[in-house]
Amino acid sequence: MELAVYNIDGKETSKKVKLTTEIFGIEPNDHAIYLDVKQYLAAQRQGTHKSKERAEIARTTKKLKRQKGTGGARAGSMKSPLFRGGGRVFGPQPRDYDFKLNKKVKALARKSALSYKAKENNIIVVEDLNFDGPKTKQYQAFLTNLKCADKKTLLVLGESNKNVYLSSRNLTRAKVVTASELSTYDILNASNLLLVESSVASIEKLLNN
């Protein structure tokens, strides 16, 4: 699959980039995508929820009433979950929601997501970017030139570029990552995937190992 390379002004250049079918043209595996996205979202959870159990409640343990003769059950402590203000039974405790996922499954999920984007013609290849400084207006103009200003975009760089990253940070629908940070969730969450020329080789190198 060959795609034309666009410059920062949104004009097509004479250059072409070939996307390998082993990464951008496979039969997508929906279950691998599901597992990878599930793990990504699980890892975002803080897991700091906490409720007090019976042993952690500061209330009197004096018997509330006599043991016999009332016709009701015995009540030995105000800490009981049966009373208002008592401890909670099996309440939430701090925990880590992350779980292990094999590298090959994660790689398959990313290949599947990239293949979906390629099949839907939502991949745009651009020349390597380099801004003189952090300029949000300049990055916004770049997206406007590519006709992507009103869409969610994910720009994938070959290597870290602080000026490009900072230029996009204030735009709610724009995200910039390096090829090594690319995740299945980010690929699917974006309407358009913008790849700089140097990132194509980096992605292929990462996912072919």
Q: Give the CATH number of the domain where residue 160 resides.
A: 3.40.1370.10
* Crossing angle for the helix pair 197-208 and 103-119, to the nearest 10 degrees: 140
Report the predicted TM-score, pTM, of the whole model to 2 decimal places: 0.83
Quick one: pLDDT band at residue 38, thresholds 50, 70, 90?
A: very high
**Average pLDDT of span 169-182:** 92
The token pair at 123 is 């991949």
**What is the tens place of the pLDDT at every residue in 88-124?**
999 999 999 999 999 999 999 999 999 999 999 999 9
Name the nearest CA neighbour of 118 among 31, 25, 32, 203. Answer: 25
107 lies in the same domain as 173:
yes
9 lies in the same domain as 78:
no
Mean pLDDT score of the chain: 91
- Beta carbons of 126 and 5 less than 8 angstroms apart: yes
At residue 137, the pLDDT reads 93
Quick one: pLDDT band at residue 24, thresholds 50, 70, 90?
A: very high
112 lies in the same domain as 135:
yes
**Average pLDDT of span 16-43:** 94
183 lies in the same domain as 201:
yes
Cα 155 from Cα 133, distance rounded (Å): 17
121 lies in the same domain as 191:
yes
* Crossing angle for the helix pair 103-119 and 30-44, to the nearest 10 degrees: 110
Residue 40: which domain range?
2-46+97-208
What is the number of structural domains in the chain? 2
124 lies in the same domain as 197:
yes
39 lies in the same domain as 66:
no
**Average pLDDT of span 66-78:** 89
Last residue of a domain, one of 31, 65, 91: 91
Counting Cα atoms < 13 Å in the Cβ hemisphere of 79 gives: 13
